[in-house]
Amino acid sequence: MFEKKGLINELKLIDERLQNQENWKNHNLLNQDMKRKNFLINFLTSIQNNEENFNDTKELLTISDNSNDKKLLNDLNLELVAIEKNLTKLYLETLLTGKADSNNSLVEIHSGAGGVESQDWVAILFRMYTRWCDSKGFNTELVDQNVGDEAGYKSLTFKVSGENSYGWLKYENGVHRLVRISPFDSQSRRHTSFASVYCYPEIDSSVEIVISEKDLKVDTFRASGAGGQHVNKTDSAIRITHLPTKITVQCQNSRSQHRNKSLAIEMLKSKLYEKQIIKEEEESKKNREERGDIGWGNQIRSYILQPYTMVKDHRTNKQISDTTGVLDGKIDFFLENQLIKFS
């Protein structure tokens, strides 16, 4: 499962670079090497601990094989199961080695076919992802929102800060389909709603993306909100279009137009960085889903609440009946399987 020898050799090479005083002048490279070294030390230590636990458990099983101590045998079996889980976790960590996997991420969710139903579906997905982030110890920050007419959101963007957050979420790109009895339908009919999810990496100080002002179209508009005394009465919201690529970003999280523009520029750089990653990594490019229309025939995952309960990922063919748990943020089952399939 692991190329332990290769990891040890990589650790030796990093140590050699760190011992070279000339390399200390490049702070970005130094930080990356230190971060990678710490990861490798912790990773190799975990492998060694699990190997020792496995060998000890195997020896105890051999010794107790002829005994009738069922409790001891049960405890040893539970220990083997725990070791297997630990090794699976370590294996998944080896898959999070893409160029930007360790970065923070930005996640956009857009409502599609279904009107107010889809706008409410955006809010449900937002809650699902934030609950998952909480379980991982990741921080979330709402960057932009376009509130729905009756409920939910027409679209929103939020930032996820945490180790490997982009690596975990990058394969969530695509259309998510919900089937349920509508809470907005007085006749309690079954409705199908769609929303698209798009995840891209936040760029860090080691990445330089140059953007020319002449390639930008900047529009200002009034931020949407709940109204009342807190309504924003100035055109502080910013929309930026990158003319060469037609990429559009917007931000209205702050009352400061300058702050919103700064955040929007960072979002644009992140999207351009993702395009650069896709060009450089042909294998990653083949595995990514094309977003397409937010409607029938393009969904990557279906969440069925009526007439039966099931969540199914159409790319990995993995499914689970615990829809309540999934919508409450328990999505590791899908994230892990798609990481194994596409990596």
List the CATH code of the domain at 4-95: 1.20.58
Instruction: Specify the pLDDT at position 309.
Output: 96
Architecture of domain 102-343: 2-Layer Sandwich (3.30)
Please state the domain extents for the chain. Answer: 4-95, 102-343
Instruction: Specify the pLDDT at position 224.
Output: 65
Instruction: Specify the pLDDT at position 111.
Output: 94
Instruction: Specify the pLDDT at position 281.
Output: 60
* Alpha-carbon span 330 to 305, nearest angstrom: 16
Instruction: Specify the pLDDT at position 289.
Output: 43
Instruction: Specify the pLDDT at position 74.
Output: 85
Instruction: Specify the pLDDT at position 284.
Output: 43
Instruction: Specify the pLDDT at position 69.
Output: 73
> Is residue 112 within 8 Å of residue 122, measured between CB atoms?
no
pLDDT < 70 stretches in the chain: 1-3, 65-67, 204-207, 224-235, 280-297
Query: Beta-carbon neighbour count of residue 36 at 10 Å?
Result: 14
Q: Where are the beta strands (DSSP E) in the chain?
A: 105-111, 139-147, 153-161, 174-181, 190-201, 216-221, 237-242, 247-251, 299-304, 310-313, 319-320
